[in-house]
Structure 1
Amino acid sequence: MTVSLEQLRRCHLAVDLGAARTRVYVKGLGLVVDEPSVAAVNTRTGALIAVGEFAQRMTGRTPSYIRVVRPVAGGTVVDVQMAQRMLRHLLGDKLRRALRRKPRLRAAACTPHDADPLAQRATTETLVGLGARRVELVDTLIASAVGCGLPVERPEATMIMMCGAATTQVAVLSLGAIVTAQRIPVGGEAIDHAIVQHLRQRHELMLPTQSVRPLQIALRGNGLTPTGPTSTEIHGRDVSTGLARSVTVDTAAVREAIHTPLTAVLDGIGRLLRDCPPDLVADLAERGIKMVGGSAMLPGLDEMLREATGMPVEIAERPDVCSILGLGAMLDGKVLPMTLNPLAR
Structure 2
Amino acid sequence: MIEDSPFVAAAPVLVPMPAERPYTYAVPAGMRVVPGSIVRVPLGPRQVAGIVWDGAVEKVDAKKLRPIEQVFDCPPIDRAMRRFVDWIAQYTLSPPGMVARMLLRAPEAFDPEPWIEGLQRTFANPDRMTGARMRVLETAEGGLAWTRSGLAHAAGVSSTVIDGLKAQGVFETVMIPPRPVVAAPDPSYAQPSLMPDQSDAAAMLGTNVAAGAFGVTLLDGVTGSGKTEVYFEAVAAALDRGKQVLILLPEIALTHAFLERFQERFGAKPAEWHSDLPPRMRERVWRQVSEGGVRVVAGARSALFLPFRELGLIVVDEEHDPAYKQEDRVFYNARDMAVVRGHIGGFPVVLASATPSVESRVNACQG
Shorter-chain TM band: under 0.3
Larger Rg: 2
Higher relative contact order (Cα pairs below 8 Å, separated by 6+ residues): 1
Length-normalised TM-score, structure 1? 0.25
Q: Could you state the TM-score of these two structures normalised by the residue count of structure 2?
A: 0.24
